[in-house]
Structure 1
Amino acid sequence: MPFDVTVYTTTVITLVVIMDPPGQIPLFLSLVGTRSPEYRRRAAWQAPMVSLLVISVFAVGGKAILNYLHIGIPALQGAGGLLLLLVALQLLTGLGNAGSPQASEDVNVALVPLGTPLLAGPGAIAAVIVGVGAVAGDAGGYVAIAAAIITVHLIVMVVLRYSTFLIRVLGVGGITLLAKVAGLLLAAIAVQLIADSIAGFIATGG
């Protein structure tokens, strides 16, 4: 059972590009910047752990799960896009803290939207399912993909953990500004996911 270095390297590069750890920094800070230091530190490891769990589940039985539920990748993209669009609108308008601030504080953003669908999104899930299918029957390939998934999530965890130091530099005003910019970027990502979903449905005939 030789370890497949090529599969490992390819999977790491693919997931890093899709999950984009540096690109998650402004979104992470905009969502946790006003929370307590303890909450921020906890979110920095909880979000990657949630993503690791989701992606691992889909790596093991993703194709079977999607087939059983009659769900395609375009449907995942559409659902993820709609969810991200709601979060983006909250960041842009500030409605997430209006009317019921306590409820907003109780929401664990490390689970949604950070863990999924920002990190464990349709792109990452699809890439893992395809990767596992490509090495079917090769034990070394399975181990390489598992190692790659863990490596990428360790990278994400380190990036998010040390990004919290930027909060001291940015301050409350900087975090507010960052939230608006992040909301705009998140809205663009959401619209792209929805567009990809529509294109996928058209390409597959619905």
Structure 2
Amino acid sequence: MDLQLLASVIVTLFVIMDPPGTVPIFMSLTAQMNAKERNLSALQALVVATGVIVTFAIFGQSILNYMHISLAALQGAGGLLLVLIALQLLTGSTGGEESAAKYTNVAFVPLGTPLMAGPGAIVAVMVFVQRSSTVPQYLAVGVGIAVTLASLYLAMRFAGLVQRALGENGVELVTRIAGLLLSAIAVQMIADAVHSFVKSWM
């Protein structure tokens, strides 16, 4: 297994999906549920997010080929999307609480998607798959996705404990740090895209 790629996938997806930052949103969306219903919602959200991520990981290449989209274009678009998500994390404007009243089953929307399997995570996974060419690399991407999704589920499953352990200020701090790291990842993706475009033109 490609351990360097594995670490890159875990760090990138962990920062994008932000398990600690999901805790307060999950708690607010499931405030009217009992413990059993809350645990079921966490499991349903995990299944939905996994389905969305895996679908784009497997068929992402076909989609790109059909639409004649290059990896550089995908990286550039992904970087711009990540910048928007990073700004939301840095400013705290996730909008999760306002979405609660719009949907009957919050496990599907907005928890499963777009909170867990949002555009940033989808683009990042597609880029990692695009960059992979060997079995160890594909395995690293798969394990990285699984580890991140498991972290999200555990964060929701034990949201009450996590929130009490970190405290309101602790969760806020982790969210802001995640936003800062994500903005750096976004800039790097855009820079790589520009470099690829320039290289192809020369």
TM-score where L is the length of structure 1: 0.63
Give 1:69 deviation, angstroms. 6.4
Residue in structure 2 matched with residue 100 of structure 1 by the alignment: none
Q: Give the alignment of 1:54-65 within 5 angstroms.
A: 54-65=52-63
TM-score where L is the length of structure 2: 0.64
Counterpart code for 1:122: P
Where 1:56 maps in the other structure, the secondary structure is: helix
Residue in structure 1 matched with residue 35 of structure 2 by the alignment: 37
CA distance in 2, matches of 1:166, 1:158: 10
Matched, 1:133 2:130: yes
Where 1:88 maps in the other structure, the secondary structure is: coil
Give 1:48 deviation, angstroms. 1.9
Residue in structure 1 matched with residue 148 of structure 2 by the alignment: 152
CA distance in 2, matches of 1:90, 1:150: 27
Residue in structure 2 matched with residue 118 of structure 1 by the alignment: 115
* Structure 1 ranges of 4+ moved more than 4 A: 69-75
Distance of aligned partners of 1:66 and 1:89 in 2 relative to their CA distance in 1, 3 Å threshold: same
Deviations 1:134-156 (A, max 9, x none): 112x1110011001111111111
CA distance in 1, matches of 2:162, 2:20: 13
Counterpart code for 1:158: L
Give 1:114 deviation, angstroms. 0.6
Give 1:62 deviation, angstroms. 1.4
Deviations 1:19-67 (A, max 9, x none): 0000011111111111232210111222122111111111111132355
Distance of aligned partners of 1:135 and 1:32 in 2 relative to their CA distance in 1, 3 Å threshold: same
| Structure 2 portions without partners, runs of 5+ | 86-93, 180-185, 195-202
Distance of aligned partners of 1:69 and 1:123 in 2 relative to their CA distance in 1, 3 Å threshold: same
Question: How many percent identity over aligned positions?
Answer: 35
Where 1:26 maps in the other structure, the secondary structure is: helix
- Coordinate RMSD, CA, aligned: 3.6
CA distance in 2, matches of 1:89, 1:21: 14
Residue in structure 1 matched with residue 198 of structure 2 by the alignment: none
CA contact (8 A) 1:8 1:145 kept: yes
| Structure 1 portions without partners, runs of 5+ | 82-86, 98-103, 170-177, 190-195
> How many equivalent residue pairs?
157
Counterpart code for 1:47: A
Where 2:32 maps in the other structure, the secondary structure is: coil
Distance of aligned partners of 1:69 and 1:158 in 2 relative to their CA distance in 1, 3 Å threshold: same
CA distance in 2, matches of 1:48, 1:6: 26
